[in-house]
Structure 1
């Protein structure tokens, strides 16, 4: 598989999980059922700050061409966190999963492929939240954040630096990361007495 086919395979194999991660229930889990502006901003800032920290650490640890993609993605996540302008919390199930990933190929899959695909679904609901709040300024901000956070440019470039077998490893790690995001989402909803299966 080339880089594009690798990303397509991840998309195909995780379609159900990503659809459910794009439901309106995702903000219920991200905010502990506190659907208020500050809670939503904190959830978004937590995701971006955590991603920036992990990617920055990986960039420093990686002795390959892929380090540049980790560094670029870390800088972009830091910029998004600054734009969101809220204090980050210290808990996020997806970021906690990323913190367990080792090996360059697996890290490429988890953070440069899976993270943008998950971000696309998460920010879809953040935009919808602010539209419903009649806060068009923040809705516009998060439309931009969504577009930037969901870009796969760094993932595509990083995958091109890997061998075919490494790309297969990256694809598996991306699927595992999306699965972890979904499992955290589903378990949180179930703990609240809600069913994660219906797609909204």
Structure 2
């Protein structure tokens, strides 16, 4: 397997979950149905804060030098994203909990699983989150914040690509690729389950209405 085939395989395996995470219901789940600009920015800031902490911890203890450098770059990017979002929000905020996805990510302890889960699995989810946030601010006629999240989405795509390149480097055999795919898919599933549980608690069906 190579990086291109890997991404295609993960997206194909989790197509339903990714499609639903890319729906307009996502922001309902992330804001507990409080669809205000402040609530959306706050949810985005929480996500960037948690990502910064995850990647900073990986950069600090990763024995693979190439992987550590990639994680440090992504940590710096997530730190910048957090600052840009809280600038738009007008105040710094911190989440009250780590959440299931980042709790799982922080238990990964080798470069293969960290790249696959943190950069690819989480990246695929983040791209869909950013797209929904862009759409929200377009609908609110808030061009500045729509452009902000377009930029963040573009930079997240770049970090996902860096993760794929890293996997090409650190995966030595089919077993590594299989392990990488398993953890990437599991991260998408965790994000989806969290999304679905949040909607269910709000009395909203997470499945699309046809």
- TM-score scaled by length of structure 2: 0.89
Task: Check 1:121–1:33 CA distance in 2 against 1; reply closer, same or farther (3 A cut).
Answer: same
1:47-196 equivalence runs, <5 A: 47-64=47-64, 65-85=66-86, 86=89, 87-91=93-97, 92-151=99-158, 152-162=160-170, 163-164=172-173, 165-196=175-206
Measure how far apart 1:59 and its partner are.
1.2
SS in 2 for 1:150: helix
SS in 1 for 2:32: coil
Unaligned residue ranges in structure 1 (runs of 5+): none
Distance 1:102 1:8 in 2: 25
SS in 2 for 1:196: coil
Unaligned residue ranges in structure 2 (runs of 5+): none
Root-mean-square deviation (Å): 1.6
| Aligned residue pair count | 200
Distance 2:55 2:116 in 1: 12
Measure how far apart 1:167 and its partner are.
2.4
Distance 1:135 1:52 in 2: 26
Paired position in structure 2 for 1:17: 17
Measure how far apart 1:30 and its partner are.
0.7
Distance 1:170 1:48 in 2: 23
Paired position in structure 2 for 1:6: 6
Task: Check 1:199–1:177 CA distance in 2 against 1; reply closer, same or farther (3 A cut).
Answer: farther
Measure how far apart 1:94 and its partner are.
3.0
Which structure's residues are more often helix, by fraction? 2
Distance 2:139 2:103 in 1: 30
Distance 1:54 1:194 in 2: 31
Distance 2:57 2:140 in 1: 37
Measure how far apart 1:93 and its partner are.
4.2
Q: Which moved more, 1:54-63 or 1:174-183?
A: 54-63
Distance 2:18 2:108 in 1: 20
